[in-house]
Chain A
Amino acid sequence: GAGVSQSPSNKVTEKGKDVELRCDPISGHTALYWYRQSLGQGLEFLIYFQGNSAPDKSGLPSDRFSAERTGGSVSTLTIQRTQQEDSAVYLCASSLQTGFLGNEQFFGPGTRLTVL
């Protein structure tokens, strides 16, 4: 497709279960970002990829969160042993490259995660 896609669009899970969120960036975009958007809290940076490597994982809230990117394209964000405080909208964005002034990010529609 032409834009960034994310799946699933909605995910309801029980506390303690693992979840996987998927992001398909725009073809050719080398940089990929994951954010978390909680109600009234703005965007919280989680992790970014340059190609398949993640130079900065400092935003991951705990060791229950992990992410990978394969083939310089699709990325998966995994949350293990989900907690209620993980409930949020998880946004993925891609850009042509990092470190380039004025480089626009293109956002996906997000995955709304609800942990019961």
Chain B
Amino acid sequence: GNSVTQMEGPVTLSEEAFLTINCTYTATGYPSLFWYVQYPGEGLQLLLKATKADDKGSNKGFEATYRKETTSFHLEKGSVQVSDSAVYFCALSPSGGSYIPTFGRGTSLIVHP
């Protein structure tokens, strides 16, 4: 079956530090890949996505590149802010057959001033 593995948290950084949250996946075919973010007390919302190999998704200074050869979709940001503190979920949507998305366990990010 499909699976998504992301680094365990919490990740604790100082403001303006560089962020990487690793995500790798297992799936057949060519799934779409997503990063969702859940701010405290809120629901999940889409942060960025990529639908084919070598695509780069970007939003709010965050980036992730769909790497088919390493089955990865690592999330990066050059300079984090306190307001980026949230839980980040990596997810995939299969390309055929099952329509059930698969989510990682989530990585909590804490940014200190």
Chain A residues within 8 Å of B, Cβ to Cβ: 4, 31, 33, 35, 40-43, 45, 48, 50, 55-56, 59, 91, 93, 98-99, 101-110
Contact = CB atoms under 8 A, between A and B. Distances in A.
Contacts of B93: 101-103
B71 interface: no
Nearest to B90: A42
Q: How large is the interface on B (under 10, 10 to 19, 20 to 34, 35 or more residues)?
A: 20 to 34
Contact of B103 (A43, A48, A98, A99): A43
A5 to B, nearest CB: 10
A33 B95 CA distance: 17
A101 B51 contact: yes
A91 B44 contact: yes
Contacts of B45: 106-107
Given A91-B43, A98-B99, A104 B49 contact: yes
Given A42-B89, A42-B104, A48-B99, A102 B51 contact: yes
Interface residues of B: mostly helix, strand, loop or mixed? loop
Given A41-B105, A45-B101, A48-B100, A101 B43 contact: no
Given A103-B93, A109-B42, 19 more contacts: A33-B101, A35-B103, A42-B89, A42-B103, A45-B100, A45-B102, A48-B100, A56-B100, A59-B100, A91-B43, A99-B99, A101-B93, A101-B95, A104-B34, A104-B46, A105-B101, A107-B36, A107-B45, A108-B43
Contacts of B103: 35, 42-43, 45
